[in-house]
């Protein structure tokens, strides 16, 4: 008599500039197996404070196994090399060790947009697609992932492109900018459109996937984008892509 294999479940945690959220993920299907738990990002978002919140999320799920954790920064060999929307003390911090020590569990850290990109390749809008794909996440800042013929090119920072003149893109058209300036979609869409045209000029992508919280309102902006030669779609996994991608990376790293 044969029995079905147990699903492979890994906890994914997505650290953002305004919220830290997590859920256990079935890494074979990309589905969350429990309702995600979200806690406001502490201010200031120091390593100690963020570590405490990550531990709270682990305890909320009574989790004992490996953890995948995203971070809004360049992440190289477990070290965070930037800190655009968190405390500056994260620059050159051993983030993987800090968060691993806080939880007492095996943990891997990766860039948040890279995690979202991986999830979209495995389960979402980029699944089975070749060519050059850019995933942008519109949130507190702008994250980016570049996928070429199914392979992720890690730690791109297209949200930090100088655009428009004398400004960086995420200070011009992130979701936070829309919220802080109380921009209507009619006011915000030309900003996003101009940024997408700039990406087109630089990279000539075949497909651009828009993730982050605003992807839930895709009908408000995607039909309004003009003069684009590439296909533009919303992320299939919406705002859960980071959690799923983090879990996938941990499953791969720890042979779950």
Q: Do domains 9-111+241-253 and 125-235 have the same CATH topology?
A: yes
Report pLDDT for 1: 47
Report pLDDT for 117: 96
For the whole model, what pTM was predicted? Answer: 0.91
Pairwise CA distance, residues 96 & 102, whole Å: 10
Which residues of the chain are modeled with pLDDT < 70?
1-4
Classified as helix, coil or strand, 12 is: strand
Report pLDDT for 84: 80
Report pLDDT for 2: 45
Contact at 8 Å (CB) between 39 and 61?
A: no
Backbone torsions φ then ψ of 218, nearest 5 degrees: -55, -30
Which residues 6+ apart lie within 8 Å of 133 measured at CB? 117, 121, 126, 146, 147, 148, 205, 206, 207, 208, 209
Strands 142-148 and 132-138: antiparallel
Pairwise CA distance, residues 4 & 2, whole Å: 7
**Which tokens go with 232?**
């533009």
Domain extent listing, the chain: 9-111+241-253, 125-235
pLDDT, tens only, 37-73:
999 999 999 999 999 999 999 999 999 999 999 999 9
Pairwise CA distance, residues 63 & 126, whole Å: 30
Classified as helix, coil or strand, 16 is: coil
In angstroms, what CA-CA distances link 232 with 72, 127, 177, 219?
Answer: 23, 15, 21, 12
CATH number listed for the domain at residues 125-235: 3.30.420.40
Backbone torsions φ then ψ of 168, nearest 5 degrees: -100, 150
CATH topology of domain 9-111+241-253: Nucleotidyltransferase; domain 5 (3.30.420)
Report pLDDT for 213: 83
């Amino acid at each position: 008599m044969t029995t079905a294999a147990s699903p492979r479940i890994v906890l994914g945690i997505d650290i953002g500039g305004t919220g830290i959220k997590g859920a256990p993920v079935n890494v074979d299907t990309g589905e969350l197996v429990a309702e995600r738990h979200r806690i406001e990002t502490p201010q200031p978002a120091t390593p100690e404070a963020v570590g405490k919140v990550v531990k709270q999320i682990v305890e909320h799920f009574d989790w004992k196994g490996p953890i995948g954790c995203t971070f809004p920064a360049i992440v190289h060999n477990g070290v965070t090399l930037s800190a655009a929307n968190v405390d500056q003390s994260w620059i050159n911090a051993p983030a993987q060790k800090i968060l691993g020590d806080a939880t007492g569990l095996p943990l891997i850290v990766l860039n948040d947009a890279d995690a979202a990109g991986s999830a979209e390749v495995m389960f979402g809008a980029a699944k089975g697609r070749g060519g050059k794909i850019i995933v942008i996440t519109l949130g507190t800042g702008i994250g980016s992932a570049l996928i070429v013929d199914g392979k992720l090119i890690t730690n791109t920072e297209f949200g930090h492109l100088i655009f428009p003149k004398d400004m960086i893109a995420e200070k011009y058209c992130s979701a936070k900018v829309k919220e802080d300036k109380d921009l209507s979609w009619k006011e915000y869409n030309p900003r996003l459109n101009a940024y997408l045209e700039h990406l087109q000029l630089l990279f000539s992508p075949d497909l651009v996937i828009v993730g982050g919280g605003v992807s839930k309102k895709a009908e408000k902006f995607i039909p309004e984008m003009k003069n684009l030669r590439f296909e533009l779609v919303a992320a299939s996994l919406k705002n859960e892509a980071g959690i799923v991608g983090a879990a996938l990376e941990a499953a791969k790293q720890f042979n779950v």
